[in-house]
Chain A
Amino acid sequence: MTLELHDLCLTAPGAAAPLFAPLSLRIAPGEIACLTGPSGVGKSSLIAGIAGQLPRGFVLSGQVRLNGRDLLALPPERRGVGVIFQQALLFPHLSVGDNLAFGLSPEFRGRTARRAAVSEALERAGLPGYGARDPATLSGGQRARVALMRALLAQPGALLLDEPFAALDPALRAGMRDFVAEHLRAAAIPALLVSHDAQDAAVARQSLAIAPLGAGG
């Protein structure tokens, strides 16, 4: 599994020029690449574009390949690209365990096997026995860990992280960075992280700063 970006250009609705210079990047399995840049440069929109969920009006040109397969022509659910959003976005009406069960890939078959996979994921997240809990009772850091496990249980071919630590307490960020790095290495998939915080680049093998194109940015 390798994620390749070729000459990616993002244009905002109604704008004539792209937001940043064409972007090319190759991310190997188990590797994290970090894109840093000021807010408003289009980092979140870039993630949304790779995931196939750009708001109407944005134009993404260039190529995105996952293991050689061109992604941009596919609907979001068939790209095999997991996304970690700024907010954990756990389903508030489902228990923590059911949030994970919803994420768990259908390749796990049978009730017992699926249940075992969910409780194992909870253990790896450091939340053993939290399956029946209401997500609202979790701390911000716990919610972020559940969101990461939910995305990984779907067995994506790549993972995109959109400022995953921004909503966390500064004291929790370092721990969460290590947690993410460790699990992404274990999953052996390429990951692309965008952040406005230069410290986040520390977890990444390669990091790239993107700057706005032109004076108007």
Chain B
Amino acid sequence: MIWLRALVAMLIGAPVLVGVGLTLAAAWGADWTKVLALPGLWGGLRLTLITGIGATVLSLALSVPLGLWIMGRPWAARWLAPMLAVPHAALAIGLAFLIAPSGWFGRALAQVLGWAVPPAWPLPGDPYGAALVLGLVLKELPFLLLMTLASASQVDVTGQMAVGRSLGYAPGRVWARVIWPQLYPGLRLPVFIVLAYGLSVVDMALILGPSHPPTLAVQILRLYTAPEMRQAEASVLAIGLVAMTAALAGIWWLAERACTAFGLMALRRGRRGIARRWPGSVVMAAQGGLFVAAMAVLALWSVTGIWRFPDLWPEGLSLALWARGDWIAVALRSLWLGLASVSLALTLAVAVLEGEHRAGRPLRLGAIIVAPLLLPQIGFLQGLTTGFLWLGLPAGPLAVIWAEVLFVFPYVLLSLGGPWRALDPDQLRAAASLGAGPWRQLWRVRLPLLARPIAAAAAVGFAVSVAQYLAVLLPGAGRVATLTTEAVALASGADRRVAAVYGLAQAVLPLLAFALALALPAYGRGGSGGRAP
């Protein structure tokens, strides 16, 4: 299986390494005094730390009580996947339409307080980054909850809860003191992904974050795309962001030890706690409510004709902007870029999992697979674009597809890996005893049996692809327009309605993929019974 490892290393590992390496090389000749004197550098650094760490800590802290709440409510857990499918940018635009002075909240307050003009509050884009933190938490919380549920399937939660309560502990106490700490090892990688994402997010920061100064990642993008050549300065900051992310991961790891020690001390004290009913429901209602309201206001703006300020509802609804149809070509480009990167990622994932199965042991690819998710995207994507040029791959759709595969592949592999390894080996043995060779076993037994998980993994990958911003902007040299790049560009424009059209289309595309993944295999199963071999 050496060739398989080499393939993954070449397709996924090498680009990341080359990207970081070339960014580092570009940073080498930079004039440090010029970099340190960049206006807004220190403000941006502070903002990056506050929003990145704040969003991660807040999401994780909220996921603890919510994890217990959602464990007993499978109907609520079903809403996590669609929330996961909505891209960051679409949520950010919808949230901006909620909290802006002339947004739904402002209008509601104006109705109550009799305001005639929008209030002067600095949202979105408040200097502290509160709006950005809110947006990140709304999006990362469902992800951490889904990971909590996955981790909880490995632990006898019901039995341990019964023991804890029979010892006199309130349910929340049992969960926080003994059950959740057992789930945390399964949450560590997701938390590091959330941390790296929060420190380097660009699309959400452009829409919800302040602009004077913006976060470090946005400053780096501005330098990279500046008309005058400022690659060297940008590269210094990009490498700085990578180093900062690594340092913070180290600090997080130390903080983990400290929390474990404190948790054990608290556990030994034996305080039983009191049962509280509100926290889970209230936080979940706030999260779900804001999410749904953001999507609703996005949909509403996309069909709005005129919407005067204090009114809660537009004067007239019109499909004129949708009918204009300029979004269709862009949506089709998002669609085929997604189909291409998902096909590649899925093929690679099946190859890796089948290779692992035939070798009878894991391929030990760990670090290579998750490296693209654990590094700030802006830390290596511009370097990667340079690397693609050296390879003779010009900036354009092909470069974009390769860059997208870096982020799609890990999610496809992670979501397909569980069901793949859990498949009953007896069914394969039965096929083998009927004389089916390894390829026939793969095509005729394993892949059909796994149709549903494969469709689900493809939908997850497609959602990741559609949501990509930097992986389109940089390797595409700004010439490949997708729903995401257009929506982000339009979000700061004057016409909310146009931004809403692109934002909603960006959210609907991955949701359709999820709906399709749920529907397709159901048809397939009905017809397979009577088919001749």
Q: Residues on A close to B: CB < 8 A?
A: 48, 51-53, 75-78, 80-83, 85, 87, 89, 91-94, 98, 101-106, 108, 111, 114, 150-151, 154, 156
Contact = CB atoms under 8 A, between A and B. Distances in A.
A108 B167 CA distance: 14
A106 B271 contact: yes
B182 A93 contact: yes
A89 B159 contact: yes
Interface stretch (B62-70, B168-176, B223-231): B168-176
A111 B181 CA distance: 22
A68 to B, nearest CB: 20
B325 interface: no
A53 to B, nearest CB: 5
Given A102-B270, A154-B168, A156-B168, 6 more contacts: A53-B166, A77-B275, A83-B163, A85-B159, A93-B182, A114-B269
Contacts of B160: 89, 91
B117 interface: no
Interface residues of B, number: 25
B426 interface: no
Nearest to A75: B275
Interface in B154-189: 156, 159-160, 162-171, 177-178, 181-182
Interface of B: 156, 159-160, 162-171, 177-178, 181-182, 264, 267-272, 275
Contacts of A102: 164, 167, 177-178, 267-268, 270
Nearest to A53: B162
A63 B267 CA distance: 34
A83 B164 CA distance: 10
A83 B182 contact: no
Contacts of B167: 77, 82, 102-103, 150-151, 154
A98 B275 contact: no
B181 A93 contact: yes
Contacts of B264: 98
Contacts of A87: 159
Contacts of B272: 77, 106
A85 B182 contact: no
Max chain A CB contacts within 10 Å: which of B156, B159, B270? B270
B494 to A, nearest CB: 55
A101 B169 CA distance: 13
A106 B267 CA distance: 11
B187 to A, nearest CB: 14
Given A53-B166, A83-B166, A101 B159 contact: no
